[in-house]
Chain A
Amino acid sequence: MAGIGFELKKLFSGSSIIMKLRANLFSSIVIAGPMIMGAILLLGIKYLAVHAGASLHQQDLLIVIITYSLLFSLLLINILSYVLSRYVADMVYGNMHERIMPSMYGSISLLLAVGAPAWALFLYLSKLPLEYSIFSFTLFCLAVVVWTQISYITDIKRYKEIIYGFTFGIVSSLAAGFIFTTNNVEVVSSLLASACIGYGIIMTTYTFILHRHFPKGKGISLKFLEWINKFPSLPFVGFFSTTGLFIHIMLMWHSPLGAQVHGLFYHAPPHDIPALFGFFTILVTTVNFVTSLEVNFYPKYKLFFNLLNKGGSLKDIEKSKVEMLTVLKQELLYLALRQMFVSIISILLISEILNVIGVGFTTTMIGLFRVLCIGYAFYAIGNTMLLYLLYFAADGAALYPAVTLFLVNTIGTYATLTLPANYYGFGFVTAAFCMFAVGLWKLVSFTRHLEYHVFCQQPIFIKPNLGLLTHFVHWLESRHEAKNRKSLTGKPQDI
């Protein structure tokens, strides 16, 4: 009889119920790489400064200006780096490569719009000589661009090109520094200028690389802001994990080991230098992670998500899950073992190594190095687990180890400052260990309930995302379209 029962189609058809799960082709940012390369440049410049006969204060000033410029720009860009990474992954997945370059320029502009005035204010308050300020400002801005570029190049897995670019930059920078200093230009200015030249060259190289790999852009440049609404945890994961990694260094500047260099510029060489050397020891995990991820883990991960998306049976899905998690476990174990090996060797042989290199370390510094090495080892593995969590799109879970690192490091380092100097560094070790423990806990509990997270936590029906930033982006897009239309319809009249 007429008029009973609505049409099922109207309710049930549509993409919402046959939503596809998506593998997160999410390249992780490996910040250790650029940091280490930055440190190499720093050491080279320091060497040149000594060679050019700079005073101790000049050397210190040089080092702190460069360190601060690089460090704060790095902290700034890490707020966006995971968001950008996921945006790029989604654009690659959705075959919208033309949206990638605009997002890079958009994010750089946004970061500079926020960061540059803040940095200028910092420099002003530090009452640094104008020419130093200008160099520091330039270096800061260049570094923001370079870090962002690195995050994009990482996304297309051109790790080697990152290193080539950096090597080229370092060599040019040191060459320029050598030329300037041997031609009796003021030593601090000349070496600051050479650092700027180095980063400028890196930026140019990367721009070239990026334009070779990504097509010409289309669409608005701030589209990626929508991704902050979609993945609201990511900026926090980025901020806390990076700031957490450096906060103990910044706190130590204000400890009894620290000293004011100029204005707001502080340093604590007895802690800074061991920390820097300690940082080098995690290079092993950084390099191994990239290869282990791509060669061993990624194929299993891809298979698992392909089965989910392309009609794999329950049995196949479960089998591939077991395989993927087995590989994950193995890889983590290998990474941990390698890291442990390198760390132990470094701890045992530090005095001998230093004797060979000929860098002067006090007993306190050697002690600190040994302590911090343990911390960095835990951090390396903890951070790897955090990256795996991001791989599984477990952003909320990834926030736990990130926040743990930041909080425990802040509180722990503060606490150790009230204790005798023998205890320095233990704040960071505790923080890194906690991050490792929390990361392990989160990763284990997440993967134990992997299907649950993959299936059940998907919203049953996709709701349009209507956050503030999304509204803003939509507004920008409508303006952009209107403008395009206007220019299209405008042309014939002009003729």
Chain B
Amino acid sequence: MKICLILEGSYPFVQGGVSKWVNDMIRAMPEHDFIIWAIGDAEEKSGKYVVDLPPNVVAVKEAFLDSALKQRIRRSLNIRITPEQKEAVSQLVRCGNPDLNTLLNAFKTKMANPVEFFMSEASLEIIKDFCADEFPFAGFTDLFWTVRSMFLPLLYLISQPMPEADLYHSCSTGYAGALGAFASMKYDKPYVVTEHGIYTREREEEILRADWVVSYFKELWISMFYMFSRFAYQKAHRVTSLFQRAAVIQEDLGCPPEKISVIGNGIKVEDFKDISRKKEDGWIDIAAIVRIAPIKDIKTMIYSFSQLKQELKNARLHILGAVDDEEYYQECLSLIDYLKVKDIIFPGFVDIKKYLENIDFTLLTSLSEGQPYAIIESLAAGLPLVSTNVGSCRELVEGDKHDRFGSAGIFVTPLRQSEMLEALLEMSENKKMRARMSKVGRQRVNAFYNVEKMVDKYQATYQKAIEIWQASDSN
């Protein structure tokens, strides 16, 4: 079977959880061919892959959102659109329920390329109507440019040739999800959406924080991503999430509950089996396996650790992971400087498994997570952890109703330094507790977070999607 994996801002351009997952999946299914449909933000990333492509990847199709802005325009700007097309585009800019078929046909054919469309009088009329109805008091020029830049990339993507496959699989909602919906519709093929975080919520947070969006248009931007996820959920035959809470959110966002199943992440447990425990050396070594990015809240980590240092002179913090956001990294360095904290180490690229042999426990301060590999691996390596209670961290650390192994770490509320300090102190001082948690962690990963089991479940999901698609087709 030929499977088209649709990825956004991820594999093969970026290292991280999803990339790792994609790599594991593709290698675990040598019987299938994979097409990677990779959506990136900027053309300059073309061909710059940070992963080795497995042999069963038969093609990589790149699509860059900024290509939309580099399109040539012909001179004919008097584009005529049918009332149905007008209604579809109008619904699209209102983030309502556009008819996807009409949109697809309008922009895949020669009606207009999206740039031409947004330079036509027809688009101006649509935006004016929208403005009059929804934003009568907002600055029209701002709205005009906002709408243009919001929807141009999507319309560009659907106007481009789409790879053909037997099954489409988006690894998120957003642009990837919307594109999957259009492609599966275009070629009438089964469609699977697997979510590895809650994309829509993460976008929402990003936009709320953003300073480049005019405040009264933030809601519009957020609605656009909600609409994108509706496209994906509506057209998907199966939808998965990593943990129960995420499934509930998917339902809230409009996914029919009967489509959803929960499949956790899995790792190769045996790779971590032989990691030995650290020998006493007088230091308490804490590791944070994180990308350096604002969402990981490294700053709270630094604050808490600096407080810990005042109580425990022999504590060390190792921050392992690539710099994702250089500006944020510099801010973190200045913070360390300002607080005059010692013993915060950025070792750069290291063999993490080897490194973990000299660690006492791990720490995660993220504001948002899906089901972080960092925790699963840390547990597999027999390291207890202190983690914020986000995403599925609770299930990983404490288990759920099917899992009675006990606790493998301590929870704290995001951003709460005092709580974090307490947890760090407790973990650092209670050696017995660490040993108990270490055992629990290994048992849990063995039982539930094994890569073979994960791959089986996704195989079954594909199968189920195909069945549902066949059933709906024969109707």
Contact = CB atoms under 8 A, between A and B. Distances in A.
B203 A18 contact: no
A460 B174 contact: no
A199 B206 CA distance: 66
B42 A11 contact: yes
Contacts of B123: 456
A3 B14 contact: yes
A4 B148 contact: no
Given A4-B197, A5-B174, A8-B210, A456 B66 contact: no
B49 interface: no
Interface string A13-30: 110111111000000000
A258 to B, nearest CB: 43
Interface stretch (A304-312, A340-348, A414-422): A304-312
Nearest to A20: B141
A460 B119 contact: yes
A7 B206 contact: yes
Most B-side CB within 10 Å, residue of A8, A13, A309, A317 = A8
Contact of B17 (A2, A19, A308, A310): A2
Contacts of B449: none
Contacts of B15: 3
B149 A3 contact: no
A461 B67 CA distance: 11
Contacts of B42: 10-11
A208 interface: no
Contact of A4 (B10, B124, B372): B10
B206 A4 contact: no
B254 interface: no
A1 B210 contact: no
B137 A4 contact: no
A93 interface: no
B136 A5 contact: no
Contact of A3 (B16, B139, B153): B16
Contacts of B18: 1-4
A312 B139 contact: yes
A357 interface: no
B22 to A, nearest CB: 10
B365 interface: no
A361 to B, nearest CB: 51
B396 to A, nearest CB: 13
A455 interface: yes
B44 to A, nearest CB: 11
Contacts of A184: none
A9 B7 CA distance: 19
A376 to B, nearest CB: 35
Contact of B212 (A9, A309, A460): A9
A11 B132 contact: no
Contacts of B242: 1
A428 B148 CA distance: 47
A460 B16 contact: no
A455 B199 contact: no
A17 B370 contact: no
B144 A5 contact: no
Given A1-B370, A4-B199, A11 B145 contact: no
B131 interface: yes
Nearest to B123: A456
B139 A313 contact: yes
B24 to A, nearest CB: 13
Interface in A287-336: 308-315, 317
Given A17-B145, A311-B141, A1 B152 contact: no
A10 B66 CA distance: 10
Interface in A429-455: 449, 451-452, 455
B406 interface: no
Given A308-B141, A309-B141, A460-B152, A6 B119 contact: no
B27 to A, nearest CB: 18
A310 B120 CA distance: 23
A11 to B, nearest CB: 5
B321 to A, nearest CB: 9
B141 A460 contact: no
Nearest to A317: B140
A34 B9 CA distance: 63
A461 B145 CA distance: 10
Nearest to B140: A314
A17 B121 contact: no
A84 to B, nearest CB: 28
Nearest to B69: A461
A456 B140 contact: no
Interface in A368-391: none
B124 A1 contact: no
B65 interface: yes
Contacts of B171: 4
A460 B146 CA distance: 11
A457 interface: yes
Nearest to B7: A4
Nearest to A13: B212
Nearest to A8: B206
B291 interface: yes
B291 to A, nearest CB: 6
A457 B206 CA distance: 31
B21 to A, nearest CB: 8
B154 to A, nearest CB: 12
A309 B7 CA distance: 38
B100 interface: no
B131 A314 contact: yes
Interface in B172-216: 172, 174, 196-197, 199, 202-203, 206-207, 210, 212-214
Most B-side CB within 10 Å, residue of A5, A20, A314 = A5
15 contacts: A3-B15, A4-B9, A4-B17, A4-B18, A7-B41, A8-B203, A9-B212, A11-B153, A13-B210, A312-B140, A313-B136, A449-B121, A455-B141, A455-B144, A460-B118
Sort A-B residue pairs by CB-CB distance and give the 4 closest, nearest first: A3-B16, A311-B139, A6-B9, A13-B212
